[in-house]
Structure 1
Amino acid sequence: MARQPTVSDVALAAGVSRQTVSNVLNAPDIVRTATRERVERAISDLGYRPHASARRLRTRRSSTIGIRLYPFAGGISGAVLDRYVHALTENAAERGMRILLYTARTPDEEIEQFRRLTDGADVDAFVLTSTFHGDARTGWLLEHDVPFATFGRPWGDDDLGDPQHLWVDVDGAAGTAAATKHAIAAGRRAIGFLGWPSPSGTGDDRARGWARALRSHGRSPDGLRWAVEDDLTAARAAMAGVLTGGGPGPVPDAVVCASDSLAVGAHLAAMDAGVHDLLVIGFDNTPVSEALGLSSVEQRPEDVAVGTLDLLMGAHGTAVDPSVPRTGTGHVLVEPRLIVRE
């Protein structure tokens, strides 16, 4: 069996000291760019892989990031979080990190998991999902100085100005604005929005993008917004009334939806009513929207995962370093893309 390359081999190939190689692996920001790139090329050419166990003993870090595993809830839109966790795990492994999954039924139970995992030094940081205004989980982590990042912004707080609360999110307003502009370009005149009841940080943000795009084209959103829970049956029933002229506003010829669950409900209502030319655009680009041929906004969870790790580790980091993200941008806003299906 071929001998595995060592730090000494990398140092010799790059023309640097063993300590410089160690710095590139563990503290790349202190190494000059040209030197770091030379060492990284040598690492790649030789196929060198740091010994994870030895590094953990040396740095007293677990090289592990914890994230909650939510119970399977069924429905249409759960695939987004599944893709995110998969991408996070895959990208973390490429950076020499591991993902630890834990379960909790409530925020309080999750905080207990934080306490258990940090007391045992089992994780270096946490990634939180399903954020909400006044989230006690982020408060506990900040109070105990535990590094973390969230998939979802801290709705209602200082989203852009707080360098301690690191977050990655999808620009939902940009996504629904792109969907609305597509409907306008397709010649649709009455473009409605089917979303969730307010207040909803994510839902209201997506509604803002739709309304903004209409106003930018000299159109009014009045009477064209409907709200139901994120449920296919509820969306189908609501749109059935709208399409038969039972709503307060005009009958739409296009509907931008806050999720694919709502989009499928709207599509089925249109089929029930014999309205075969209603343009329906969803959000999340799930396999269901693809199967039905519905256009949908793609969240790009793989890019969200990369942004999460960049915040926790730095773009070239090999370990969680609380000082890295706090010296730069405290958030990443991922631009979604509209997947058009005719």
Structure 2
Amino acid sequence: MPKPPTVYDVAAQAGVSIATVSRVIRDPDTVKAATRDRVNAAIEQLGYVPSASARGLAARRTNVIGLFFPRHDDVEPPALAEQTEVSVITGDDEQPENENLYYDEVLRGAELEASRRGFALMIASGTGGELERLVTDLAGRVDGLAVLAGTVPMEMLERVARHIPVVLLGGDGRQDRFDHVHSNNGPGMKKLAEHLLERGAKSFAYVRGPEGVADDDERFGGFSQAVGDRPVEVVRGDFTRRGGRAAARALTSTPDAIVCANDQTALGVLDVITPHEGKPLVTGFDGIAAGRHSSPSLTTVHQPMSELGRAAIDVVTTRLEHPDAPRQTRTLPVRVILRESAP
């Protein structure tokens, strides 16, 4: 099989530099018509198919944006079964629940915006000892990186940011030098807590996420502002439905309201605690579709998850074009949605 033509072959036949070939492919309007015609003729004659790496030669870009999410579970996937029998299982506690519907929505928005801007999206997910290897490897393959705030050590992000733009999903940017995209977490949770107070709640349980997650800190701060010195039992969860069930079983009090840091946690709480005569009130935060269909349907704070993903890509690509622009933090609006779990 003959060796496929390269960008160097096109440049040689057209009598131009490889940078010019790349500009004709990436941004043809910036090249004189006569030169552009020679390059296009060489491409057609040679049968050259531009690759992502060739398109990025002039600008030293890959045309790929990286997106890194943590993994909040350590569930081993089951071995591939060779048998064909259908098994019957009672209950769902032992079933792995690896889905994260918040990430799914953010990812959908990021994919749309990356595609619209002519970039591919490369995704990695990990935790623990593999985290540094994964982030370093991802950063070496992309033009810019979006990371959930608080999930990657700051010193690692500082190293990465010496080479490529980094935007954090979450956090407000007051403690670092990165661009940030986040929802209006604190005020949204404060408004939700004020609604629970209006409903007559006097004692609370609050199910948080893992330590060090900026969004969780902001939401708990907004909740605390609203409830003041009223009794609050705080339990740590992990943002998963399974973790929500465990947190509900760990409660030592019988509060008027159980406030959860995200919807999947709240759905886990509802798996264990069915409100009777309107108590306890149960709420979440995110606005995932599953909350509309739970029983009871879930009162929550809806954040524009898909728009967060789109905004993150927009900030990264803007930083690529304007590396010296002032640092920015984009705050997206939220809405309190009242449903059956806390009407």
> Shorter chain as normaliser: what TM range?
0.5 to 0.7
Establish whether residue 183 from structure 1 lines up as the match of residue 196 from structure 2.
Answer: yes
Q: Aligned ranges for residues 147-158 of structure 1 at < 5 Å?
A: 147-153=165-171
Give the SS at the match of 1:341.
coil
Going from structure 1 to structure 2, the CA distance change for 1:280 and 1:131 (only over 3 Å counts) comes to same
- How far is 1:55 from its partner? 5.8
Of 159, 183, 207 in structure 1, the residue corresponding to residue 220 of structure 2 is 207
Partner of 2:61: 61
Going from structure 1 to structure 2, the CA distance change for 1:77 and 1:192 (only over 3 Å counts) comes to farther
CA distance in 2, matches of 1:89, 1:103: 16
Native 8 Å contact 2:284 2:300 kept in 1: yes
Query: What is the aligned residue count?
Result: 267
Native 8 Å contact 2:68 2:123 kept in 1: yes
Give the SS at the match of 2:146.
strand
Q: AA paired with 1:259?
A: N
Q: Aligned ranges for residues 17-166 of structure 1 at < 5 Å?
A: 56-68=56-68, 73=73, 75=97, 78-102=100-124, 104=126, 106-114=130-138, 116-117=140-141, 123-129=142-148, 131-132=150-151, 134-142=153-161, 144-153=162-171, 159-160=173-174, 162=176, 164-166=177-179
- How far is 1:84 from its partner? 0.8
Superimposed CA distance per residue, residues 289-319 of structure 1 (whole angstroms, 9 cap, x where no aligned partner): 22220111223112212321232223xxxx9
TM-score (norm 2): 0.65
Native 8 Å contact 1:91 1:306 kept in 2: yes
CA distance in 1, matches of 2:155, 2:314: 24
Once the two structures are aligned, what percentage of the paired residues are identical?
A: 19
Of 319, 329, 332 in structure 1, the residue corresponding to residue 330 of structure 2 is 332
Of 175, 178, 185 in structure 2, the residue corresponding to residue 172 of structure 1 is 185
Give the SS at the match of 2:174.
coil
Partner of 2:279: 277
Partner of 2:47: none
- How far is 1:61 from its partner? 2.4
Native 8 Å contact 1:77 1:286 kept in 2: no
Superimposed CA distance per residue, residues 192-223 of structure 1 (whole angstroms, 9 cap, x where no aligned partner): 241227854433322211121234xxxx33x2
Of 223, 226, 236 in structure 1, the residue corresponding to residue 234 of structure 2 is 226
CA distance in 1, matches of 2:236, 2:189: 17
Of 274, 287, 290 in structure 1, the residue corresponding to residue 289 of structure 2 is 287
Of 292, 295, 301 in structure 1, the residue corresponding to residue 305 of structure 2 is 301
List gaps (5 residues or longer) in structure 2. Answer: 1-26, 31-49, 74-95
Give the SS at the match of 2:150.
coil
CA distance in 1, matches of 2:336, 2:245: 25
CA distance in 2, matches of 1:68, 1:287: 23
Native 8 Å contact 2:206 2:233 kept in 1: yes
Going from structure 1 to structure 2, the CA distance change for 1:279 and 1:190 (only over 3 Å counts) comes to same
Establish whether residue 195 from structure 1 lines up as the match of residue 207 from structure 2.
Answer: yes
Partner of 1:310: 314
Structure showing greater radius of gyration is: 2
- How far is 1:274 from its partner? 4.3
Give the SS at the match of 1:128.
strand
Going from structure 1 to structure 2, the CA distance change for 1:97 and 1:261 (only over 3 Å counts) comes to closer
Q: AA paired with 2:332?
A: V
- How far is 1:87 from its partner? 1.0
Native 8 Å contact 1:196 1:258 kept in 2: yes
TM-score (norm 1): 0.65
Native 8 Å contact 1:92 1:99 kept in 2: yes
CA distance in 1, matches of 2:98, 2:185: 18
Native 8 Å contact 1:63 1:320 kept in 2: no
CA distance in 1, matches of 2:126, 2:279: 45
List gaps (5 residues or longer) in structure 1. Answer: 1-21, 26-50, 118-122, 244-251
Native 8 Å contact 1:311 1:331 kept in 2: no
More helix per residue: 1
- How far is 1:254 from its partner? 2.6
- How far is 1:102 from its partner? 4.0
